[in-house]
Every structure is written in structure tokens, then in C-alpha cells.
Amino acid sequence: MDPRQAPGVYAGAANVIAAVMLLIEFGMLRQALARDQVRLYAAQSALISVLAVVIAADRNLPDLYALAALSAGLKVVAVPLVLRRLLARTGGDEEEPLGAGEEPLGVAGSHTLSPASAVLAGIVLAAFGFFSFGALGLRGPDPTPAPDTALAIAGAMVLVAFGLMIVRRDVASQAIGFFSLENAISLAALVVAAGLPLILATAFLFDLLVAVVVFAMLIRAHHSRAESLSTADLTRLRG
Amino acid sequence: MVSAALPVPLIQLLQVLTVALGAPGITGVIAKVEARLQGRRGPRIAQPYYDLAKLFRKEALAPAGASWFFLAAPLIAVTAYLTIPLLIPVLTSYGLPLGYMGDILGGGFLLSLASFVIATAALETGSPYAQLGSSRAKTFSAITEPVVLFVVFTVALLTGTDLPYALAATVRLSAGQIIRPAHLLAAAALFMVILSETGRIPVETHTGTLEFGMIEHARSFEHSGPYFALLTWGSELKQLILYTILANVFLAPWGLASSRDLGAVALAVAALLAKAAAIGCVVAVLDNSFAKLRLFKITEFAAGAFLLAVLGVFTLYLGGG
């Protein structure tokens, strides 16, 4: 397509929302405090609900409104709440007062790369995701073609979320990276297959709930064994 | 409506005069808004004009050992700043004859030339603070420079040229041109660069008097009298020029005169000053809501702007940006 040709208001809006979601992913990559990462995750999830509403309005798919509401309730309210309570209990939240003799277990300083290098590495990952997904030339079956930039951005987000899980040494950031990975996949699904039956889309959302439960158990188990949220303690094997 | 058609050279001159005379006023508006937000009454809006008038009447001193370049630098810088309004759409939506003597890169070169001569003049003085300021300013502009280049690439990909008039015309074309991610990302990156170039929070405290935190403002420490006035006026000019580029090329290229009517041109002058004041209000709010970044964190701010600009170019290459 000639780049001088504007993609139209609907595709433009979808692409902008996708681009902002990718920027939030970068924000998580450089954010030092787990509390702020949870906040960014909630913002990203809110955006995906907005995108669902935009697509629903454009393609006249009433199912998607229900999905948007459900997804907002789950990902903007429930999951961040669970994560925040979990962090408060393990002392990972810097705002919660700690008991006497307790060490603050903040996840600040769990960077293995400096934030600027992490962002640069993220740009490289995002470029790879962008162009590999763009080269696939995937198109939805809908009469209106999916905005392929949004799909490529979803691909970039998946890779940056993987990068986030790799460069962080604490379980909380890794869990948030995993959840935002799910956001990226939902974005791709929304863009390519907006007409998915509601029951299937809801089933995917409940997959996320399972992941939340599993991660919550992992975080608590790790915290009770190692008394920290850092995975650096896992490198030494003890018999 | 007055329908007297103005001659083209006069409009061209008016572009320069609007920027030259309006720039201190915009600084005054920002200072006023910032003070009101902090619960102070603040200086009157015309205060920067009085400051300049006072400085122009004062005696000029140069440090011992400084060469002629120390005194020539403010003149060169102001000349460069006054040339840029000829190249960008300040008042008209159609290109004026001299508007085609340089593209966006040409304007960028003039801005860097001005900043280079000021930095060199600061080196002439031998004063540690002036040198510190110019060395920092050069260091950080080495990081913001690539961002500007990527913004120019975005413009070039969007319009097929790198003339600022062409992008403004493209943006006016349809709503789809505004909402496309490449345009929004490039505009956001440019705004971050402008914050850094005009010495605003989160990069620099505008009203600070602590030399260790200074970047742009430390450079003019050794200048005095009319030369200091020229440097102050120069940084106000630079601010209004950058705001004009942001408003008239990227964000809101509306309200520009499309004919040579006196009424239309007068309206364009008012619209430009109103838009610049609006951007100034946003900047004042940012100034009051964030803390200054530590010096070594400024690279992260610049890396953020770079990220936005690079993503803008990426989305364009996929065709849907």
C-alpha cells in the first residue's frame, strides 16, 4: 500500500490502540516497581476492551460488547486486585507497611539489564516481531480486512512480553509479563478473528484465570521457600 | 471582512515579525500560568519584554581573553532563529517563495548551528559553569538528534517530500491522516524533543538558580547587556519556533491563511499565538506535575522519545501506519 494513503478511521483507531498497548508493554519493561507494573497492566487491559468496543461498533458484532465488559471486569479489576493483594502479603508492594523485623522484598533492582539497554533490546525484538508478522500477510476471513499493522504490533508485543519475562529476576514481574502476553494474544485474536463465537472467547478468558491461580500459587510457594520474590535464589541447587 | 490583498513579500516578513515579537509573550504566558497553578500571582505577561528592554540598555562586558566570536555568537544565533520562520508554515497554508529554500532538515541545521555557536561562545569564556552547560547541551542533543531524524523520516514517508508545508496539507486532508499511529507517534516524539530542547521539566528546571542542574541556561552566564538580551530572546524564539512546528505542521494545521487577504492573515497571527499559548499551558501543567529527572536519567527520557519515533517508522513500513 502507498504509505501516503491513510488507512481510514477505523483501521487507524485500531492501529493507534495497538501501538499504545505496545508502548505500555515497553513501560512495563522499564518500570522498576511491581505496583506500577500492575497499574500498567490494568491500563493495557482497559485498552483492549476499548479496542473490542471499537471493533464491535465498526463491524456490528453485539457479542463483542459483552466480551469487552467481561474482559474489563476480569483484567482491569479482578486480576490487578489479586496481584496487588498477593504482593502485599509477600511484602513485594512498597506501599504496604511491613511488620517488625521484616525485610522489604521489593522487586526494584531485579533488572538484569539497565532500563535503557532493555528498551533498546526491546526495540530490536519489536522490529523482528513487526516484520516477521507483517511478512506473513495474515488476513481475517471477514469482508473488511483486518488492519495488518495491529496484527504485526501484536506479534511485536508477544516478543517484548517474552523479553520482559527474560530480563527480570523476580516472579511478580514474570507473572505480569505472562499476563500481558495473554493481552497480546487477545489483541491478535480480536484483530484477525473478531467474529469468534462468544463462548470460545470467554473460554480463552477463563484460561487466563487458570494462569492467575497457577502463578499465584507459584509466587506463594516460592515466597514461602525462599522468603523472597527473586528467582536469583533458584540458581543454586540444594539437595 | 477587509479584503485588501497583501503583497507576498509583506506576508513573508510578517511571518518573521510574528515569531520575533510574539516569542517573549509566549514565555510570559507560560510563566503566568505556571505561577497561577502554584497559587502565586506571578509576573505580568509582558514581563519578558520589559526584561529584554532593560538588558538592551545595559552595558556589555566580555571576559578577558575572549575573542570576537564571543560577541558575534548571539548575533549569529538570533539570525539563524529569525531565518527559520521563512521555511515553516507560520501564517499561510500555501508555500511562500522563500519557503522552498530549505526543508525540515534545513530548519534543523539552522537550529543546530545556533546551538553550536552558543556552545562555542561558552567555551571561549573559560567559565566552568558555561562550559558545563554547553557540554551537557551538546551531549543530550546528540541523543535527541536521531529522534528528530526519525520524525523527519516519518514525514518523508507520509508525504513523499520533506517539506513542512506538504505534511501540514496532508494532515488537513482527512481525519484518517490524524488518527494514524505513525503521525501520532511522530508528534509525541517531537513533543518530547521540544520539552528537552526548550529546557523544561522533566529535563531541566526552567526557573532554577542552581547551576549544577542547569543545561541550556548555564550557557549564557558570561554574556551581559545586549548580548545576554539576544541570547534570552533567542531561546524564546527557539521555543516559539518549535511550538509553531508542532502546532502548524503536526497537531493543528488549521487557522492558517489560505489567501493573501489582510483579514485572513490577521486571523492566522491570532490563531498561531493562541495555539502556541495552548501548548505553553500544557507545558506549564507538565512543569508543575513532574519532578526534574536526575541527569543520568535524561538518556532514558530520550530513549523513550526514540522508541516512539522508531515505532512510527515501523508502522509506516507495514503500510497501515
| pLDDT tens figures, A190-223 | 888 777 777 877 888 888 888 888 888 888 888 8
Q: What is the pLDDT of residues A44-78, one digit of tens each?
A: 999 999 999 988 888 888 888 988 998 899 889 98
- The whole-number pLDDT of residue B202 equals 81
Q: Which of residues 108-147 of A touch B (CB under 8 A)?
A: 115-116, 119-120, 122-123, 126-127, 130-131, 134, 147
- The whole-number pLDDT of residue B259 equals 87
- The whole-number pLDDT of residue B54 equals 96
pLDDT at A139 > cutoff 70: no
DSSP A74: I
Q: What is the pLDDT of residues B7-53, one digit of tens each?
A: 888 999 999 999 999 999 999 999 999 999 999 999 999 999 999 99
Helix or strand holding residue A207 (H, E): helix A198-226
Indicate the pTM of the whole model.
0.86
Q: What are the chain B neighbours of A30 within 8 Å (beta carbons)?
A: 300
- What is the average per-residue pLDDT within B73-80? 95
Q: Are B235 and B24 in contact (CB under 8 A)?
A: no
pLDDT at A140 > cutoff 60: no
Q: Are A76 and A45 in contact (CB under 8 A)?
A: yes
Smallest Cβ–Cβ distance between A15 and the set B157, B170, B321 belongs to: B321
Q: Rounded to an integer, what distance in angstroms lies between the CA atom of residue A75 and that of residue A115? A: 26
- The whole-number pLDDT of residue A1 equals 43
Radius of gyration of chain A (CA): 19
Q: What angle do CA B249, B252, B256 make, to 5 degrees?
A: 80
Q: Which of residues 3-62 of A touch B (CB under 8 A)?
A: 3-4, 6-9, 11-13, 15-16, 18-19, 22-23, 26, 30
In the numeric block, which cell numbers belong to residue B262? 489582510
Of the residues A2, A9, A24, A160, the best mutation for testing chain B's interface (the one with the most B CB atoms within 10 Å of its CB) is A9
pLDDT at A92 > cutoff 80: no
Of the residues B183, B306, B307, B308, the best mutation for testing chain A's interface (the one with the most A CB atoms within 10 Å of its CB) is B307
Lowest-confidence region among A227-236, B70-79, B152-161, B281-290: A227-236
Shortest CA distance from B316: residue in chain A: A3
Q: Rounded to an integer, what distance in angstroms lies between the CA atom of residue B48 and that of residue B23? A: 9
Q: Are B261 and B4 in contact (CB under 8 A)?
A: yes
Model confidence band, residue B216 (pLDDT cutoffs 50, 70, 90): confident
Residues 6+ apart with CB under 8 A from B97: B8, B12
Chain A nearest CA to B68, separation (Å): 42
Interface contact B318-A116, CB threshold 8 A: no
- CA distances, B8 to each of B83, B97, B259, B260 (Å): 17, 8, 10, 7
- What is the average per-residue pLDDT within B191-217? 83
Model confidence band, residue A95 (pLDDT cutoffs 50, 70, 90): very low
Interface contact B311-A22, CB threshold 8 A: yes
Q: A97 or B152: which carries more pLDDT confidence?
A: B152
Cβ density class A192-207: b for 16+ within 10 Å, e for less: bebebeeeebbeebee
Taking each helix axis from N to C end, the angle separating B298-317 and B128-159, rounded to the nearest 10 degrees, works out to: 10
The beta-strand segments (E) located in A140-209 are none
Interface contact A12-B181, CB threshold 8 A: yes
Closest to B149 (Cα-Cα) out of B317, B313, B279: B313
- CA distances, B271 to each of B90, B92, B121 (Å): 10, 11, 36
Of the residues A1, A16, A124, the best mutation for testing chain B's interface (the one with the most B CB atoms within 10 Å of its CB) is A16
* ipTM for the complex shown: 0.76
- Quick one: B79 exposed, middle or buried, by C-beta within 10 A (0-12, 13-18, 19+)? middle
Of the residues B311, B313, B316, the best mutation for testing chain A's interface (the one with the most A CB atoms within 10 Å of its CB) is B311
Q: Rounded to an integer, what distance in angstroms lies between the CA atom of residue B110 and that of residue B107? A: 5
Q: What SS3 state is found at B95?
A: coil
Chain B nearest CA to A222, separation (Å): 33
pLDDT, averaged across chain B? 88
pLDDT at A101 > cutoff 60: no
Model confidence band, residue B77 (pLDDT cutoffs 50, 70, 90): very high
- What is the average per-residue pLDDT within B180-184? 87
Cβ density class B110-145: b for 16+ within 10 Å, e for less: bbebbbbbbbebbbbbebebbbbbbbbbeebbebbe
Smallest Cβ–Cβ distance between B307 and the set A16, A26, A131 belongs to: A26
pLDDT, averaged across chain A? 80
